[in-house]
Chain A
Amino acid sequence: MIKETLEKIMEISGVKGVEAITKDGLVIEKLFYESETSDVLGAMVAKINREMEMSIGRSTNELPIFSTIYTDKHEVLFISKEKFIIVVLAEKNVNIGALIIQIKSIASALQPHI
């Protein structure tokens, strides 16, 4: 169920991978073209998210934190809900607007299942 839902994000052109992780960085489900990146990325995103929550407040299902990190090679997007985080790694040429909408909708859809 979670895998099928995450696959909808993978359908967007330019997306290199998506994963759902716990707030501690443990992988719940992942779909990555290059699997070696995914574990480290998940752990790193969990760390960034923890710092953000310490600074701006804990994310909840009603008030999630959505972040986008733009680097010179990639774009890392993640949404932090109460119990999980969805992380997406995308190329620079991705349609970022469409991707953001899809991530938000997928996160809401996954909420009751995690």
Chain B
Amino acid sequence: MRVDRDSVSLLVALAEDFYNNDSFIESINYCNMILSQFPDLKDAEVLLLKCFRKLNDESSFKPLLEKLLKAYPDDKAVLDAAGMLQKEAKAAEVKNPSPAEEPAEQKKSAPAAEAKRFEEPKTEVRQDIQSSAVLSANETENLLDSALEEINRINGVLGSIIIEESGLIIRSKVIENLDPEITAALFSTIFNVSEDSISKVNLGMIDRVFIEIGKVRIYLFKGNGYILGIFTEEIVKIGLILIKAKQLLKNIKQVLE
């Protein structure tokens, strides 16, 4: 597959999605495809490094880490990946003191202190969700807000909202002149009527509904008992919305279910 400059960031985003969803092999494939045409693309290399680390593939990890540390000695992303490895290595050493001193020595020589600095504050949303069985109301709000903000950052997106199937708002981030209550009621009505009608014709279960009117687009995605609605302008790239919405639905599922 030919990768051009415009699509490379989308491919990196895709690879990141795979990584975030624990599909490391897929992510590696995408990274390799990108790197075959843009050999020094840092984002792809760092992602590849993370994948190798997750897969415990030391033979691939070490040379890449050395290359990256040489090229970007003070880079946060690289140090982050390296630091995490050191943490794991240290934990492994404590559990199981290794007879081979040479690799440990090498690891110690890397900037461990700096790496540690980047480990702590960046607690990932996914890890938070998994680690705590029950989230507090504030935590849930924050997680949902950050998920909606992420989708709103896409060029052309006017707002997004998560509603319960009956029309009650769970969380919303819409532009000022849109009333979230009315929006929620509208989305819920459209979705319920569509679902009811489609089931009567035996055409299966509704997955999503897209509506175009003038220069506005409405995308409704069905979750388990909730609906994710996204308002966009005409210019928005629908493929990107789809990818992000799927990712967002997974995150919401982790928070709400």
Contact = CB atoms under 8 A, between A and B. Distances in A.
Interface of A: 37, 40-41, 44-45, 47-48, 51-52, 55-57, 59, 63-74, 76, 89
Nearest to A46: B197
B201 A44 contact: yes
A68 B210 CA distance: 5
Given A64-B213, A76-B198, 5 more contacts: A45-B197, A52-B211, A55-B190, A70-B208, A71-B206
Interface centre among B186, B208, B212, B218 (most CB of A within 10 A): B212
Given A51-B193, A52-B190, A71 B211 contact: no
Interface of B: 186, 189-190, 193-194, 197-198, 200-201, 203-214, 218
Contacts of B213: 56-57, 59, 63-66
27 contacts: A44-B200, A44-B201, A47-B193, A48-B197, A51-B189, A52-B190, A55-B186, A55-B189, A56-B218, A57-B213, A59-B213, A63-B213, A63-B214, A64-B213, A65-B213, A67-B211, A68-B209, A69-B194, A69-B198, A69-B206, A69-B209, A70-B207, A71-B207, A72-B205, A73-B204, A74-B204, A76-B198
Interface centre among A45, A55, A74, A76 (most CB of B within 10 A): A55
Nearest to B209: A69
Contacts of B206: 69-71
A72 B204 contact: yes
A76 B193 CA distance: 14
A37 B201 CA distance: 7
Contacts of A69: 194, 198, 206, 208-209
A51 B209 CA distance: 14
A33 to B, nearest CB: 14
B203 A73 contact: yes
Contacts of B201: 37, 40-41, 44
Contact of A44 (B198, B204, B208): B198
